[in-house]
Amino acid sequence: MPKPDKNNYAATAYLRKRCIHPNVLTLCKQKRILYQTSFKDHPNCVFVGRDGNGEPKGGSLRGCSQIQFRRDIPGSKKIYPFYIEAAAAADTVEVYEAPIDAMSGASLKIMQHTGNWRGIHYLALGGTDYAALDSFLTYYPNITHIVLCLDNDEAGRTRTQDIIKHLEGSGKTVEDRPPPIGKDYNDTLVQVTQEYQKHCISLDDILEETR
């Protein structure tokens, strides 16, 4: 695994700019599935892929500066995915393409008060291959409900149907829930956050009312 930086300031700032909720960020840092590493003074987010025992087995990098950069950590395998596990036994997993989308799904659940956000699992495939999902289902055999939250593009829609067919006969309920706004769930989160902020009273507004 890449060597962690002394702090996560750049990674945190980047993900907050993408509207990831602070509670999600805090949990991911505590679980050590998110940290920051730098190459030639360019900071990157590290999204850690794990096995069924929670042991790091690789993962992916995402640049958090103005330089666009993303790649898998050398030696990583898709069968070891990035995932945020539920706080207790859960029968549902939401499946996304990228770690930021999985974190966005968790953030939306917090913002929209649609239930206990720690009551389900969030899984990132690291693309559209379902090898990560197959592995995850061996980690958590009690899962009976799979919610597919893949991107709103041709690849995402096509792969969703492939996964549905792949899971036929598994005895599990499979739901297709594409992002309601934009290409992916981070697009949805950003839009929802912006709309929320428009309707929130600011500290300046409160001070103005008390003058």
Q: What is the pLDDT confidence band of residue 128, given thresholds at 50, 70 and 90?
A: confident
- Please state, in angstroms and rounded to a whole number, the distance separating the CA atoms of residues 164 and 43: 37
Higher pLDDT, 51 or 209: 51
Distance (Å) of CA 113 to CA 24, 68, 75, 123: 14, 33, 39, 20
Question: What residues form DSSP beta bridges with 49?
Answer: 58
Helix (H) or strand (E) holding 192: helix 185-198
Among candidate residues 53, 136, 62, the one with its CA nearest the CA of residue 93 = 136
Quick one: average pLDDT of 36-50?
93
- Please state, in angstroms and rounded to a whole number, the distance separating the CA atoms of residues 188 and 167: 27
CATH fold for domain 9-209: Dna Topoisomerase Vi A Subunit; Chain: A, domain 2 (3.40.1360)
Quick one: average pLDDT of 153-163?
94
The residue extents of the domains of the chain are 9-209
Sole residue written with tokens 């939250």: 149
Average pLDDT, the chain: 91
pLDDT of 203 higher than 90: no
- Residues 107-116 pLDDT 10s: 999 988 888 9
pLDDT of 206 higher than 60: no
pTM score of the predicted model: 0.91
